């Protein structure tokens, strides 16, 4: 099957390099001219927890030709309608888009190409974009940590699912989820807390987990996500074999303290990660806050459950995008009124 990664930034470059190193044929597509130039001239240089260089096929969107059976979508959700409409012209009659975006992107993708051609994939590892063909893997490279959760909300051709499973298994552990929305929420609650706070505080996940004030905020945000999911009758799936609800949810002071103590241990393997939203803000670009914390807030409104912490994250990031604030640790004071309630 013919495959492409569209939006080959940090994570797409790393995935593409792993697959190409294993002998798979896959095109890496990016709008970043300098990055594509670097990939073509030097190959994909993957650093961080690993260090290798791999020759890859790289191109700009306008250089795509022919049709693909599988397109892994790894762009931001800010322009999903335009991107998916463009990609639909490059799909075979039975081709699918496997969205590897944050939040719950399957709904917007399926609106354009249909549920039977939309596959979702939640990834539980992280990376930073260094530019011009170079990307940093920030997660320990084991099969347990480099994990993928596959699923769909419609009936997708089994041969396609099998091929995606085979390909992603080259890099890490793949789980096909019957309750895929629950798997999405498992990633969403972590992203809402740590990616959201990373964008606001300008910090790594490890720094957020280490400091007691920011760790408390992360705990409260994750608790809020868990409660919204319960009210929406969504059963959150385990992450990498760990039942995050059992570990992090609480209904008394003792469980709350245990949850608080577990957080640094749970985030240890991701301590060097900075959220892609923070990287976007640092470059003066809008980020996909509405697709992460905004989704939790939207679900909260839908089920009648208040989400003050996720609402506050969205509001602060909006002020950063407008230039009123910058991503810095001092922003932690902007939560004081919530924590004191």
3-state secondary structure the chain: CCEEEECCCHHHHHHHHHHHHCCCCEEEECCCHHHHHHHHHHCEEEEECCCEEECCEEECHHHCCCCEEEEEECCCHHHHHHHHHHHHCCEEEEEEEEECCCCCCHHHHHHHHCHHHEEEEEECCCEEEEECCEEEECCCCCCCCCEEEEECCCCCCHHHHHHHHHHHCCCCEEEECCCHHHHHHHHHHHHHHHHHHHHHHCCCHHHHHHCHHHHHHHHHHHHHHHHHHHHCCCCCCCECCECHHHHHCCCCHHHHHHHHHHHHHHCHHHCCCCCHHHHHHHCCCCCCHHHCHHHHHHHHHHHCCCCHHHHHHHHHHHHHHCCCCCCCHHHHHHHHHHHCC
Least confident of 163-172, 183-192, 323-332: 183-192
Q: pLDDT per residue over 48-59, tens digit each? A: 999 999 999 999
Query: pTM of this prediction?
Result: 0.78
Alpha-carbon gap, residue 55 to 41, rounded angstroms: 9
Least confident of 75-79, 230-234, 268-272: 268-272
Q: pLDDT per residue over 185-238, tens digit each? A: 998 999 999 999 999 999 999 999 999 999 999 999 999 999 999 999 999 998
pLDDT at 62 over 80: yes
pLDDT at 131 over 90: no
Where does the pLDDT of residue 270 fall: very low under 50, low under 70, confident under 90, or very high at 90 and above? confident
Average the pLDDT over 236-263 and give the result. Answer: 91
Tokens of 1: 């099957």
Average the pLDDT over 74-92 and give the result. Answer: 94
Average the pLDDT over 66-93 and give the result. Answer: 95
Question: Using an 8 Å Cβ cutoff, are 205 and 217 in contact?
Answer: no
Percent of the chain with pLDDT over 90: 80
Phi and psi (nearest 5°) for 239?
-115, 120
- Averaged pLDDT of the chain: 94
Question: Using an 8 Å Cβ cutoff, are 46 and 137 in contact?
Answer: yes
- The pLDDT value recorded for residue 93 is 93
pLDDT at 240 over 80: no
pLDDT at 301 over 60: yes
Strand 52-54 relative to strand 173-176: parallel, antiparallel, unpaired? unpaired
Q: Is 210 exposed, middle or buried (0-12, 13-18, 19+ CB in 10 A)?
A: middle
- The pLDDT value recorded for residue 72 is 98
- The pLDDT value recorded for residue 341 is 56
Average the pLDDT over 86-113 and give the result. Answer: 94
- The pLDDT value recorded for residue 56 is 98
pLDDT at 95 over 70: yes
- The pLDDT value recorded for residue 323 is 96
Q: pLDDT per residue over 149-166, tens digit each? A: 999 878 888 899 999 999
Which residue ranges form the domains of the chain, and what is each CATH number? 3-176 (3.40.50.720), 182-339 (1.10.1040.10)
């Amino acid at each position: 099957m013919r495959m492409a990664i569209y939006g080959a930034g940090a994570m797409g470059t790393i995935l593409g390099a792993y697959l190409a190193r294993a002998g798979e044929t896959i095109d890496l597509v990016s709008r970043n001219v300098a990055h594509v130039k670097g990939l073509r001239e030097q190959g994909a240089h993957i650093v961080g927890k690993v260090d290798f260089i791999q020759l890859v096929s790289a191109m700009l969107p306008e250089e795509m030709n022919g049709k693909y059976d599988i397109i892994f979508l790894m762009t931001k959700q800010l322009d999903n309608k335009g991107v998916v409409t463009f990609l639909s012209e490059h799909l075979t009659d039975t081709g699918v888009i496997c969205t590897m975006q944050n939040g719950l992107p399957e709904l917007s993708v399926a609106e354009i190409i249909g549920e039977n051609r939309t596959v979702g994939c939640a990834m539980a590892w992280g990376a930073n974009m260094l530019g011009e063909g170079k990307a940093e893997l920030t997660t320990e490279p084991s099969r347990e940590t480099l994990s993928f959760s596959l699923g769909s909300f419609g009936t997708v051709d089994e041969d396609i699912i099998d091929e995606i499973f085979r390909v992603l298994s080259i890099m890490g552990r793949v789980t096909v989820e019957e309750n895929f929305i629950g798997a999405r929420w498992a990633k969403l609650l972590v992203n809402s807390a740590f990616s959201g706070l990373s964008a606001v505080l300008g910090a790594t996940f490890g720094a957020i987990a280490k400091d007691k004030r920011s760790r408390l905020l992360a705990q409260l945000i994750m608790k809020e996500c868990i409660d919204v999911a319960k009210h929406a009758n969504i059963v959150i799936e385990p992450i990498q074999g760990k039942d995050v609800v059992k570990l992090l949810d609480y209904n008394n002071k003792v469980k709350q303290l245990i949850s608080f103590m577990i957080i640094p241990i749970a985030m240890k393997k991701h301590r060097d990660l900075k959220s892609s939203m923070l990287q976007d803000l640092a470059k003066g670009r809008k980020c996909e806050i509405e697709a992460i914390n905004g989704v939790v807030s939207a679900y909260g409104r839908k089920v009648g459950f208040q989400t003050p912490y996720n609402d506050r994250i969205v509001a602060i990031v909006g002020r950063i995008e407008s230039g009123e604030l910058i991503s810095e640790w001092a922003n932690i004071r902007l939560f004081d009124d919530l924590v004191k309630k």
